[in-house]
Amino acid sequence: MVSDPYLGKYTTCISARSTDREILKKAQDGGIATTLMVYALEEGIIDGVIVAGEGDLPWKPRPFVAMSRKDILKAQKAKYNISPQISWIKEATRSFGLDKVGVTGVCCQIQAVRKAQLYPINMRDVPGKIAFVVGLFCMENFLYDSIQAIVEDHTNQSLSSVKKMRIGKGKFQVYTERGNVATAPLQATHKYGQPGCYVCLDYVSNLGDISTGSVGSPDGWSTVFVRTRVGNDIWSKAVDAGLFETKPIEEVKPGLELVMKLAKIKLDGNRKTLEERRNFGVNKALRDPYA
């Protein structure tokens, strides 16, 4: 068990991608999140999972409870705006009748799951019914209006023709259905960041059973942290079943070093923001949820 102040606790870190061609075709990166949840569903480890599906506007996510492979696949790809995943966590155990709930989401959403498990405040039945949690890396998120401004104004693309968005190499990248690639410098997107993200002290979903993201691995591959006993069990079975190609993270470029560097940037920067909140007013502070 590694215990890292920036990358959290984990047993192993690998670079991986799904061997499922159908999933890979539409995956954001290595298709880890989707493949794991489909596997867990088919193995009866979960009987449903909260995913970020398509909403009623292009690229606006809508969380829902997926109970079939088909529905889990509908949530492929990262949508860079807020998807309130946890809003379904209790309902999943109610009208959906689930006993083993899976959850996907970014770091803060995984924190919410763990908090509900340990301090269930009007969250009856939830603690015992969370079966598998896959967390995504997350530097920051945006409101829908912001993503609209970034894509339509800064990259000058129409949202409805966008096939994929990515953040990487200092750029916000937009790929269109018809083959165009447009970018905006990340610098220009900063003012659009959701203010709540600037107090977030978690980059690689430290509290997931398994966490995954793009940073550290080559295009089409994902960086994966296997963290808990639940995560370990599912990961090793899925690898044995041939669901993933894997490489030790030490053998890929840019590898853990870059993950660590970005984690430091996020956490150290946001710690500063928190510090500033303590002296925000004259003899008055803004609230600190970590206090």
Partner 1 sequence: MTKVVEISPTTRHEGHSKLTLKVNDQGIVERGDWLSITPVRGIEKLAIGKTMEQVPKIASRVCGICPIPHTLASIEAMEASIGCEIPTDVKLLRVILHAANRLHSHALHNILILPDFYIPGTETKINPFSKEQPLRSVAVRIFRIREIAQTIIAVAGGEAIHPSNPRVGGMYRNVSPRAKQKMADLAKEGLVLAHEQMEFMLEVIRNMQNRGFTDVAGKEIPIPRNLGYHNQGVMATAPMYGSSSLDEKPMWDFARWKDTRPWDWYMGEVTIDLEDPSYPIGGTTKVGTKANPRMEACNTVPTYDGQPVEVGPRARLATFKNFTEKGTFAQHIARQLEYPNCFYTILKCLDNLDTSGKVLADHIPQGDGSMGWAANEAPRGTDVHIARVKDGRVLWYEMLVPTTWNLPTCSRALTGAPWQIAEMVVRAYDPCVACATHMIVTDEENRIVAKKLLQW
Ligand X SMILES: Cc1cc2nc3c(=O)[nH]c(=O)nc-3n(C[C@H](O)[C@H](O)[C@H](O)COP(=O)(O)OP(=O)(O)OC[C@H]3O[C@@H](n4cnc5c(N)ncnc54)[C@H](O)[C@@H]3O)c2cc1C
| Min dist. Cβ of residue 128 to ligand SF4 (A) | 25
Pick the stretch among 58-66, 88-96, 102-110, 220-228 that binds ligand SF4 (CB under 6 A): 102-110
Tokens of 179: 């083959």
Choose between 181 and 286: whose C-beta lies nearer to ligand X: 181
Choose between 27 and 130: whose C-beta lies nearer to ligand X: 27
**Rounded to the nearest 5°, which phi and psi values hold at 283?**
60, 20
**Rounded to the nearest 5°, which phi and psi values hold at 58?**
-60, 130
d(CA 63, CA 83): 6
Q: Binding mask 114-153 vs partner 1 (x if CB under 8 A, - otherwise)?
A: ----------xx----------------------------
Binding residues among 209-268 for ligand X as defined by CB under 6 A: 212-215, 222
Which of 151, 147, 239 lies closest to 193 in space, CA to CA? 147
Choose between 97 and 168: whose C-beta lies nearer to partner 1: 97
| Among 19, 96, 183, 261, contact with partner 1 (rule: CB under 8 A) | 96
Residue type, 181: V
| Min dist. Cβ of residue 125 to partner 1 (A) | 7
Q: Would you give the end-to-end CA distance of the chain in angstroms?
A: 28
| Min dist. Cβ of residue 140 to ligand SF4 (A) | 5
Tokens of 246: 């894997």
Binding residues among 149-208 for ligand SF4 as defined by CB under 6 A: 194, 196-197, 200
Residue type, 35: T
As a dihedral over the C-alpha atoms of residue 119, residue 124, residue 130, residue 135, rounded to 10 degrees, the angle is -50
| Min dist. Cβ of residue 128 to partner 1 (A) | 12
d(CA 96, CA 88): 10
Would you give the DSSP letter of residue 137? Answer: P
Q: How many residues bind ligand SF4 (CB under 6 A)?
A: 10
| Contacting positions for ligand SF4 (CB under 6 A) | 106-108, 138, 140-141, 194, 196-197, 200
